[in-house]
Amino acid sequence: MKLLILPKILRIALVAALAMGAVSCDSIKSASGGRITSDKFDPPAYRPKNPSAVRLKLSTGAQRLYVVEGDRVLLATPCSVGTASTPTPAGNFRIYSKQATRRRQSSPGAGYPMAYWMEFKRAYGMHWGFVKPLPCTHGCVRMPMKSAAKVFAMIPTGAPLNVASSHPEDATHGKKLPVIDDGPLPNPPNSYLMSPQFFEDAKYKGKMFLD
């Protein structure tokens, strides 16, 4: 089995997925077939004019997350949601806790990074992680690193989140998004996973917003 070699930050994302048992050899398609890996995705984002009016819309059917202010979509990103047996909770929530440098609390995989954690229900949150084109999580919402960094910066604590099987934006902004498929890669050193350097590398570099 030949494994693709991608940047260090993505290799760490895949280790997290492997620790959760979400990856098989059948998923090694990464950047082929018109698909891209999450390290290559940096969604356009617009600075909120009124952060208190910003809300989130998660489509579990399309695996899309939208940051919305009024009728304007500020950011749209692919994401991964829970499987049929471990679904992402549906309904209306609020982001009541944000932690940029959170680490996984439970096993398997205790201690690995879950950068840009945004919790909306006890033990359920949105965060950086391995992204696949089909539901693959235990209920959390995984995003590409740059998506997670931007969403984290855009939304205040208390921002409302609506989780539904679909949203109108799926047919517009969501339809234009690429397919992201992160395949399994060699494990990075555990010392790096557990080091503060991981979170330094996870910081967004460059201009975050278009306006």
The number of CA neighbours under 13 Å toward the Cβ of 22 is 30
pTM over 0.95: no
Q: What is the DSSP string of 38-69?
A: GGG--------SSGGGEEEEEETTTTEEEEEE
Residues 155 and 95: beta-carbon distance below 8 Å? yes
| Per-residue confidence (pLDDT) for residue 186, from 0 to 100 | 53
Least confident of 7-16, 96-105, 149-158: 7-16
pLDDT in tens, 179-195: 999 875 456 688 988 99
| Backbone CA torsion sign across 188, 190, 192, 198 | positive
pLDDT reading at 121 higher than 60: yes
Angle at CA of residue 96, ends 119 and 204, nearest 5°:
60
- Owning domain of residue 56: 8-202
- Residue 210 is assigned to a structural domain of this protein: no
| Per-residue confidence (pLDDT) for residue 17, from 0 to 100 | 41
CATH of the domain at 27: 2.40.440.10
Mean pLDDT of 149-176: 98
- Residue 110 is assigned to a structural domain of this protein: yes
**CA 6 – CA 20 distance, rounded (Å):** 20
Both structure tokens of 199: 């979170």
- Residue 3 is assigned to a structural domain of this protein: no
- Give the chain's domain count: 1
- Residue 1 is assigned to a structural domain of this protein: no
Mean pLDDT of 145-157: 98
Residues 62 and 177: beta-carbon distance below 8 Å? no
pLDDT reading at 92 higher than 60: yes
